[in-house]
Chain A
């Protein structure tokens, strides 16, 4: 069976898109082949900066001929219906067969699909793939209308077996498929023909192209670590960078360069950021001192001077960049020495945070007041939390952060240390932005927690106050992220506090800085913001496997603005619902609730009080009374002590007596007193159960 080889050769494809594109090519082509009846044994995709390649082995030489019988309209159907059927089935009138069925004479069409040679199918499938390729961004070039990520230059598409290889005839907007490709842009630019995948890979290698990105990454990592090791150093691992660099070269050549002595005193993160973001360099560390001392760059070619010119150029570029960084660092330290961090933060009075929410400086005052309030609850000294809040954003005015925005917070820590702050304050400067995403770490140091929470609550409250809430996919102020931050900080630190209290406090502060903000006490936005936090909590807990109805049942209970308590309740409920008793109790509860609601609707009264054991007529009834007394005696103190597990267990113990009650007792007794007493008993069940969680919201 033949093998297929495809290569789409273009100008340089962005590194971040290559692997995904190669996978998309594989999926589009193999799916297309299979849909057309061409099965295959195996397929593999590859990419370099200038090409996407796909090899498909063991493809059927032709798709099999298939026969399908399709039932049509009755023989006496209107002409229009018959014509429609003919069109749909792609047959003519004389090809129809009339058959007697229990419903009368009916037309049948026999549709035979003749198998087609693989090359025809491949040509169609590949053309479709090229014309509909899901590039994140694509473009036109020259006078053409074809879109590709960058100009597409050639298509290699060959189908071969033992007997020989043929080019699959195919032309897309003037680009005819052939069996030719080109090697490395500078080492081996001439085009050459290939006969098979093996031939393709080996000829490319001779033409200075390693086709497989994994092989390039391995080669880079291997050479980089060896080079560092030989100098008694180690490469700082960075998988994203490795993948990116492997997408920037076809023929990786690893070179190690020097960082000027002047710059070795810069914070290692500054060195790393400069080198990685701008130059795509790996950092090389001295394992003894932990300092970054050299860099690794990956060139795309070999040279007669063994990379000396390339390395000298790269060192020069790095020096210029680091000279800038050092200039900023020195200037910033000078500023701090002169005016301190609070002085450095002064220009924030001129920076608008949002035109309805005042300046950054005003926001800092709010965060400080809020952090003071939060501090005692998280075990931080209020004065330290306030100090950290005042300086945490000072680095936004620093020259370093202006140049490298990704260093915000981190520079705050360095600068706070340099200014002599201590006791967790520098750490809070760095950590108060955290967590920045679902996988980012959550601060645990008390001062950091206080400022981080204050920052996020101020943001959320502020935007709620001016009614700038996220809608659909639009969340320009990253409020969902801030909400998730609040949730994770509270839960992971097991903080028990009323969020509504903080929101109202924050709202009062916002109202002082903003003319357009709603009054948090008069408006409903505090409740609305809390329900937004609940929605985000649901998403967060759902990802951890907690059912949404369980969370709803707990949100419906009082004290729901204490998220730690809320989650404790939800987890206890989830646990008890996993037991047999728990699950059956829900059924019993629902039955009780349904009967009660119907009776109340029918009778127009509320059965809520006065069930008395003296009207009980059966043992099961009396047993339920006893069980309820027992359960209540256990549940009430347990709830008070927030021991939800205990309360839930006591509730679950009601399952057997409730089941027995329903099995043997007729609620709607003829005696009106007995009936009323039984309905009141049901009401006791539902009231007791819903004192633990709102079980009416549990599904199933």
Chain B
């Protein structure tokens, strides 16, 4: 078996192989969500689509931002901006573990030489009002993925249950490529004329954002943004379901959810600026969760969320 496994040469090759693999397994390969999020789970393709009864299968890369994790690009594995690979399938197929292991083989992990383990890890997102049971997947003692069966999202029980896989791409790729510092990792093929490392692309941005996140982001502006996003989210959801212009039933869940995402990210920025006290933290998280719940409540009233006109009465 090990003869047939080709070790990838670059970060992007690992991403491309994951895209191909999950496309072959029937997932719609989506693109990243065009807003700042803390994790791939925030993409509406996961949060909202895991609600309701409609079948769903999607895979995508999601750039994710965690302002407090910024280290000016100096720490070998901590970044304030990084990539997650996210797979979400509803209902969770019975062979999801095998499908997942297949994806590891596809990106060059030789199962006959490595030790893969499923170690208990219950997932909970207090900001999304979501939880699930599953594992962190270990490869030779290193956590390479999160594997979760969603039980609840936005306060709604998941029926059917979605299976969610999240790969921390940089860490996984560094392991496969044998790189010790993320900035040294080849982003494209190191044999090409213009070979670029991860550091060529992101060292400077990590510095810039670390400085901004920690020291210069205008907290008053951010606090105002938070309030505005919160208010706006509520207003969008409070609008009548019937659109006066078209006469159609249009519940504006996604625009409202965008405001929820925004509030969540602004909260993360405020946290990195150190202006949120321990006691306030819980209150802020509770406010974002309330928005996520309101969006979830609205989503199940839409056709993508399984709503049918005849069930309206």
Contact = CB atoms under 8 A, between A and B. Distances in A.
B306 interface: no
Contact of B93 (A11, A139, A142, A249): A142
B120 A314 contact: no
B193 interface: no
Interface stretch (B23-31, B111-119, B183-191, B286-294): B111-119
Interface of A is mostly: loop
Interface string A203-227: 0000000000000000000000000
B118 A305 contact: no
A113 B132 CA distance: 46
B140 A137 contact: no
Contact of A150 (B2, B113, B116, B133): B133
Given A313-B139, A317-B140, A248 B112 contact: no
Contact of B76 (A14, A141, A143, A320): A320
Interface string A283-321: 000000000000001011101110001101110111010
A103 to B, nearest CB: 57
Contact of A141 (B113, B114, B118, B149): B149
Contact of B113 (A15, A140, A303): A303
B279 A352 contact: yes
Nearest to A139: B133
A139 B115 contact: no
Interface in A601-628: none
B195 interface: no
Contacts of B135: 12
B192 interface: no
A531 interface: no
B278 interface: yes
B130 to A, nearest CB: 13
Contact of A313 (B120, B175, B180): B175
Contacts of A305: 113
Contacts of A313: 114-115, 139-142, 175
Contacts of B151: 139-140
Contacts of B180: 316
A520 to B, nearest CB: 25
A299 B278 contact: no
Given A313-B140, A317-B141, A355-B279, A11 B118 contact: yes
Contacts of B159: 140, 143
A131 interface: no
Interface string B89-104: 0011110010000000
A141 B92 contact: yes
B93 A14 contact: no
Nearest to A248: B117
A153 B151 CA distance: 19
B54 interface: no
A304 B279 CA distance: 54
B230 to A, nearest CB: 23
B114 A142 contact: no
B161 interface: yes
A279 interface: yes
Contacts of A340: none
A151 B115 contact: no
Nearest to B148: A139
Contacts of B2: 304
B277 A309 contact: no
B91 A143 contact: yes
B160 interface: yes
B183 to A, nearest CB: 15
B77 interface: yes
A150 B120 CA distance: 10
A186 interface: yes
A279 B141 contact: yes
Given A309-B140, A313-B175, A139 B114 contact: no
Contacts of A15: 119-120
A393 to B, nearest CB: 15
B1 to A, nearest CB: 10
Contacts of B91: 141-143
B120 A304 contact: no
B39 to A, nearest CB: 21
A351 B278 contact: yes
Interface string A114-143: 000000000000000000000001111111
A304 B110 CA distance: 12
20 contacts: A12-B120, A12-B135, A137-B122, A139-B161, A140-B159, A140-B161, A142-B91, A142-B93, A142-B161, A143-B91, A143-B160, A150-B133, A186-B111, A279-B141, A297-B141, A303-B115, A309-B114, A310-B140, A320-B76, A355-B279
Interface of A: 11-12, 14-16, 49, 137-143, 149-151, 153, 186, 248-249, 279, 281, 297, 299-301, 303-305, 309-310, 312-314, 316-318, 320, 323, 351-352, 355
Q: A-B pairs with the 10 shortest C-beta distances?
A: A313-B140, A14-B120, A12-B118, A314-B141, A299-B115, A143-B160, A309-B113, A139-B133, A142-B91, A317-B142
Interface of B: 2, 76-77, 91-94, 97, 110-120, 122, 132-135, 139-142, 149, 151, 158-161, 163, 175, 180, 277-279
